[in-house]
Amino acid sequence: MKEPFLLIFFLAIFQFASAQMEWSLQGNYSRPQGVMGKYIKHAGGLNLQGMYRLPNTPFSVGAEIGINGYGSQKTHQRYQFSDGSSTEVDVNVNNSFSSFMLVGRVNLVQTGGIIPYIQAKGGYFHYWTNLSIPDPQDTDGCKPLENTSLLKDGAFAATLGAGVRWDISTVFKKTIPERFWIDLSADYTKGGSVRYMNVNIPADPDPVNHHHPVTNADGSTPYTARFINTQSQVVHEHHVGNVYQSYIEQITFRLGITLTLQGQ
């Protein structure tokens, strides 16, 4: 597991509290590009960033952690088991990814109400898909036989970007100068190959026989989850989505607020 080690390093960065520290909470909007852009149209989420400003320089180093959702879908489906029993349930599938990144930033100017900057990041992206089925009210219900986590995968990635920060004290005069900033940035991310599920879960045209190809025409792989009838214990398989594989590639826009803490 790579994520825990990156998270430990992420927390260690924040021990440098004797000088200027910056904390940012940002909203993310991502547009995947290339092959990934065919199957994930957009993603949105939150990003927490902590930066340490190197004294008397324009350089800052730190880390960030983000979580994003790129789609969820709820379908109402009837399951037909081989023993003739059937049930109707709601199937919920949620697709998400998280990021753990080390960050280096250079301020192009060091003072003033508007600070443009450039930045580079490197770290790990983790993609996962969860499936959940609420307990049906009828007595002949079904429940997932597999773990609700359908798919997990990840890869390392690198990011280049630029942004601008605006000191809100230039408008709100009672605010302490250089304490609160509005932060707007754009990044381009490129990374390794990952497997992920898409948000579009096609309806099953044949819920009895479940004939699905090994590979779809677009190169994706159908994902079949197993379910069990809670009364008869008969096992049933059902198509819940397609698995795609491509390199990580996306453009991300962020808007947030930054708090600057001056060291003693």
Structure confidence by residue, pLDDT tens digits, 179-220: 899 999 999 999 999 999 875 544 443 433 333 444 565 556
Domain boundaries, the chain: 3-77+94-131+148-199+245-261
Q: Which of 94, 105, 102 is nearest to 71 (CA)?
A: 94
* Residue carrying structure tokens 């994003």: 68
Proportion of the chain above pLDDT 70, given as a percent: 65
Q: Residue 181, class by beta-carbon neighbours within 10 Å (0-12 exposed, 13-18 middle, 19+ buried)? A: buried
Q: Average model confidence (pLDDT) for the chain? A: 79
Structure confidence by residue, pLDDT tens digits, 144-165: 544 467 789 999 999 999 999 9
> With contact defined as beta carbons under 8 Å apart, do 132 and 147 qualify?
no
CATH of domain 3-77+94-131+148-199+245-261: 2.40.160.20
Structure confidence by residue, pLDDT tens digits, 162-182: 999 999 988 887 878 888 999
